[in-house]
């Protein structure tokens, strides 16, 4: 689907989408159409009991006095809170209806809405972003799809009085969308396709955008003493990898970077502490944190963000085998701290222990933020509405929470406190990798904190938000890329110069 910005004009073919406020309040384009069709639009609303409530749809076929195939009216609700996210949701809904119409050319009228602070250009750009994000699909393996099930929409034209502003506003959003799409794609690929080796290879493609890419293999990690990470991957036929990405966009090339670290367990079988088979296929998503790191770097490089960022992904496959790590094994992490591996399924924290230590040790970042599908317990606490936020610095916390609200990728802060440390005390090592089952997300965060060396740090537990079981406003069911928008925004607001 191509997104086009053009001056408002009545299209000579295809479908036209218009927004309508609650109470059947017509915006200017709809008003013009209603007049042109001698009131047919309003009669269609009455006939279909369309009120203009949010996401309601009414369709007028072959409207008289026009050459359109149909007019699709979409409810905007009261319109009082039409902000960027609301406009994205509207654009998304418009794209879905446009696709359902089976037309190849659809126009979407961008009208001013009372109370909306954005200009017509910015409004059009937001709608276009929503349309793009919602109509993305992962159909690589659907070889037998019926032609009728395939989207036929070729051009979605946004009719806006501010074409130049729209194009200018959309350019950075295209970079964002490309980043999100990379993340979603990597997430969606099954674990036989995306494993540590192939995922690391995908990172190389970011070189084209000016991202520096380094890939550490097992020999190099062994030399560095990263035995916690290596232990998780030692049962796999695939080689573990640590990917280091660098985007140096700040005016001062030597300015200390912000670091983003992702858990990249390309499949989490649980290892010897094997998971039950029901639902185990969901563990292909366990590399989502690392996929967010890739997508975020792509989004930043794509719009030449003026910020220095390091992205690190710990890529491993957690498998049971004759070479796999056993419950009770003790590993010496890169930090020197020893860990008793009570449960091989608590592997994310082992991977991050070495990735975080390596990150702060090498880059001395101003702040370090990790993303990980770390605990099932975060789903018990927060469901899929918020990701868990654990953070050692209040300013960092505020910035992240604010970016979450602005992007719809919401965070809820949970405690870090040394009082939980007793739960991960081991008899034979410096710590063990699980607590007693209570406060599981907190003990996991408390474990990670030991590998941050007091660098301002935030941990995002995205186990409940990395993928979605139902369609959301701008996220189709499946990979959500949760974290890309959030962190792109967070970096723009707090670190770009
Ligand atoms: N990858 C899982 C966490 C997870 C669960 C992510 C559900 C997404 C959905 C993680 O590695 C894991 O297995 N955690 C265990 C920890 C336990 C053994 C202490 C868990 O949450 O059960
Ligand atoms: Mn696990
Ligand atoms: Zn896991």
Token pair for 464: 């409940």
Answer whether residue 71 shows pLDDT above 80: yes
The candidate with the shortest Cα–Cα distance to 308, out of 267, 232, 251, is: 251
What pLDDT sits at residue 79? 82
CB neighbour burial string for 120-155, b if at least 16 within 10 angstroms, e if fewer: bbbbbbbbbbbbbbbbbeeeeeeeeeeeeeebebeb
Segment 352-368 shows an average pLDDT of 99
**42, 284, 298, 349: which is the annotated catalytic residue?**
349
Token pair for 262: 């992702």
* pLDDT tens digit sequence for 323-345: 999 999 999 999 999 999 999 99
How far is 156 from 202, CA to CA, in rounded Å? 30
Residue whose CA lies nearest to ligand 1 atom number 3: 375
Question: What is the phi/psi pair of residue 11, to 5°?
Answer: -65, 150
Whether 349 is catalytic is: yes
Q: Strands 2-6, 155-159: parallel, antiparallel or unpaired by DSSP?
A: parallel
Distance (Å) from CA 441 to ligand 1 centroid: 9
Q: Which ligand is nearest to the CA of 424?
A: 1
How far is 291 from 185, CA to CA, in rounded Å? 9
Q: Is 439 in the pocket of ligand 1 (CB under 6 A)?
A: no
Domain ranges of the chain: 2-165, 175-494
What pLDDT sits at residue 80? 67
Answer whether residue 6 shows pLDDT above 90: yes
Residue 177 host element (H or E): helix 163-188
What pLDDT sits at residue 421? 97
* pLDDT tens digit sequence for 423-456: 999 999 999 999 999 999 999 999 999 999 999 9
How far is 108 from 73, CA to CA, in rounded Å? 10
* pLDDT tens digit sequence for 157-211: 999 999 999 999 999 999 999 999 999 999 999 999 999 999 999 999 999 999 9
The candidate with the shortest Cα–Cα distance to 260, out of 300, 315, 306, 311, is: 311
Distance (Å) from CA 345 to ligand 1 centroid: 7
Q: How many Cα atoms occupy the beta-carbon half-sphere of 27 within 13 Å?
A: 22
Q: Is 39 in the pocket of ligand 1 (CB under 6 A)?
A: no
- What CATH architecture is 175-494? 3-Layer(aba) Sandwich (3.40)
| Closest ligand 1 atom to Cα of 283 | 1
Whether 25 is catalytic is: no
**What's the chain's average pLDDT?**
97
Q: How many Cα atoms occupy the beta-carbon half-sphere of 189 within 13 Å?
A: 17
How far is 49 from 52, CA to CA, in rounded Å? 9
Q: Is 440 in the pocket of ligand 1 (CB under 6 A)?
A: yes
- Fold for the domain defined by 2-165: 3.40.220
Q: Is the pTM of this model over 0.95?
A: yes
Q: Is 345 in the pocket of ligand 1 (CB under 6 A)?
A: yes
């Amino acid at each position: 689907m191509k997104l086009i910005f053009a001056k408002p004009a009545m299209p000579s073919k295809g479908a036209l989408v218009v927004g309508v406020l609650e109470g059947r309040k017509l915006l200017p384009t709809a008003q013009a159409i209603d007049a042109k069709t001698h009131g047919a639009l309003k009669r269609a609303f009455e006939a279909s009991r369309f009120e203009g409530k949010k996401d309601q749809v009414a369709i007028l076929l072959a409207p008289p006095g026009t050459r359109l195939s149909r007019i699709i009216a979409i409810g905007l609700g009261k319109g009082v809170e039409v902000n960027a996210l609301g406009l994205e949701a509207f654009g998304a809904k418009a794209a879905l209806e446009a696709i359902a119409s089976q037309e190849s050319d659809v126009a979407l009228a961008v009208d001013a809405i009372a109370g909306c602070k954005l200009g017509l250009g910015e409004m059009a750009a937001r709608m276009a972003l929503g349309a793009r994000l919602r109509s993305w699909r992962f159909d690589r393996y659907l070889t037998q799809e019926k032609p009728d099930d395939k989207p036929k929409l070729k051009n979605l034209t946004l009719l806006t009085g501010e074409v130049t502003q729209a194009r200018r506003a959309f350019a950075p959003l295209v970079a964002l969308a490309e980043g999100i799409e990379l993340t979603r794609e990597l997430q969606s690929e099954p674990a036989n396709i995306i494993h540590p080796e192939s995922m690391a290879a995908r990172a190389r493609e970011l070189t084209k955008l000016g991202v520096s890419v380094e890939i550490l293999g097992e020999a190099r990690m062994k030399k560095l003493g990263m035995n916690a990470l290596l232990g998780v991957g030692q049962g796999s036929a695939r080689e573990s990898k640590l990917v280091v990405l660098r985007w140096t966009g700040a005016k001062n090339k030597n300015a200390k970077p912000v670091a983003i670290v992702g858990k990249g367990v390309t499949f989490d079988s649980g290892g010897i502490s094997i998971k039950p088979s029901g639902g185990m296929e969901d563990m292909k998503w366990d590399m989502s944190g690392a996929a967010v790191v890739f997508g975020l770097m792509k989004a930043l490089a794509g719009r030449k963000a003026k910020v220095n960022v390091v992205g690190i992904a710990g890529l491993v496959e957690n498998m049971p085998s004759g070479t796999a790590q056993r419950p009770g094994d003790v590993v010496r992490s890169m930090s020197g701290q020893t860990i008793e591996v009570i449960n091989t399924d608590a592997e994310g924290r082992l991977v991050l222990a070495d990735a975080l230590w390596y990150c702060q040790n090498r880059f001395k970042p101003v702040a370090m933020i990790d993303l990980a599908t770390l605990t099932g317990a975060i789903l018990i606490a927060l469901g899929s509405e918020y990701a868990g936020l654990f953070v050692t610095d209040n300013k960092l916390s505020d910035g992240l929470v604010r970016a979450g609200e602005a992007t719809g990728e919401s965070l809820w802060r949970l405690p870090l406190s040394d009082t939980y440390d007793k739960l991960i005390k081991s008899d034979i090592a410096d710590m063990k990798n699980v607590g007693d089952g209570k406060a599981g997300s907190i003990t996991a965060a408390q474990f990670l904190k030991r590998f941050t060396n007091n660098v301002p740090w935030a941990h995002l537990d995205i186990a409940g938000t990395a993928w979605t079981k139902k369609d959301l406003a701008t996220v189709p069911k499946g990979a959500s890329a949760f974290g890309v928008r959030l962190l792109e925004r967070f970096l723009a607001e707090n670190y770009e110069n």
